[in-house]
Amino acid sequence: MLVLASQSPRRRELLERAGISFVVRTADIDESVQDGEAPQQYVRRLAARKAMAVPRGSEECVLAADTTVVLGDEILGKPADAADAVRMLTALAGRSHEVITGICLRYRQDLFIDASVTRVHFAPMSAAEIDAYVATGEPMDKAGAYGIQGLASRYITSIEGCYFNVVGLPVSLVCRYLGKIGLL
């Protein structure tokens, strides 16, 4: 049995659409970035901490993930408030950035930790467009203050890499690991 260590409705939906059965168990962890921590290190560390924090049975596999948006050297997590969302979207508009998702599968005595990187190209946005998008509330629970699968889709000109990674879970990468351990 797969245990999803995430409250994300997007991750649940992606697993369901891929035909993967799972149960949800979550635990709260500190998601602060450590001094000098690189973005890939950060998401891998959080995924591993989430996987270790969730109880499991002896034959259960825990899947945890963490997604962040990286613009230059800045990690853009979930916005603290509307003003923070406006700040992030203003910085992203008309530029390219990376979305990085770290995954961890905890099965028996093993931890499988990996990450997926997707480059996203954002169209320019006016201040009025940014304000209108933030007013919808959609950016508030998403890394980088946007959801590629929602209203922000009108501003994404192209991506390089896995679309599902940007939504919050690199499904094909997860499935490769589930296959390796015999759960798929």
pLDDT (tens digit per residue) in 107-143: 999 999 999 999 999 999 999 999 999 999 999 989 9
The Cα 148–Cα 145 span in angstroms is: 10
Task: Check which CATH number belongs to the domain holding 128 and give it.
Answer: 3.90.950.10
Give the pLDDT confidence of 139-163 residue by residue, as tens digits: 998 999 999 999 999 999 999 999 9
Q: Which domain holds residue 99?
A: 2-180
Note if 141 is an active site residue. no
- Rounded to an integer, the average pLDDT of 165-174 is 97
Separation between Cα atoms, residue 64 and residue 60, nearest integer Å: 13
The tally of CA atoms less than 13 A away on the side-chain side of residue 181 is: 22
- Out of 28, 35, 66, 81, pick the active-site residue: 66
Q: What is the pLDDT of residue 73?
A: 87
Q: How many domains does the chain have?
A: 1
